[in-house]
Amino acid sequence: MTTKYREMVAAQTLTGTAASYYTTPGGTYGAIHAASVCNPTGAVVTVNIYKVPNGGTAGSPTKIASKAVGAGATIPVPEVINHKLEPGTQLYADGVACTLNISGVEYLPS
């Protein structure tokens, strides 16, 4: 058994279209421990985070958080904490010009 703490998404600048920012490696399981979003723009931006199973797509059924982030604000995203990630699960996000950080743990069973 191997457990590794890791930055799953490290300071990634989001766009207006949902894109994949992390994929759980094959044979590995994960859990999200912390997440935050920074909005450096001068307007409120809505940020969406999706947990997409292997072979799935980002959309309403896979959305795990949606936050309106104020201009110049950095906020936590507690809705994603403790979500478990199966092998191949991807974390997608969108939110024009906002920066996303997600950390957690990966577990590789022996």
List the chain domain ranges.
2-108
- Note the pLDDT of residue 55: 93
Rounded CA gap, 43 and 70, in Å?
7
pTM equals 0.96
Task: Give pLDDT, residue 79.
Answer: 97
CATH 2.60.40.420 at 2-108, yes or no:
no
- Give the pLDDT score at 80: 98
Residues of the chain scoring pLDDT < 70: none
| Model pLDDT, residue 1 | 79
CA distance 35 to 22: 13
- For residue 54, count other CB atoms closer than 10 A to its CB: 12
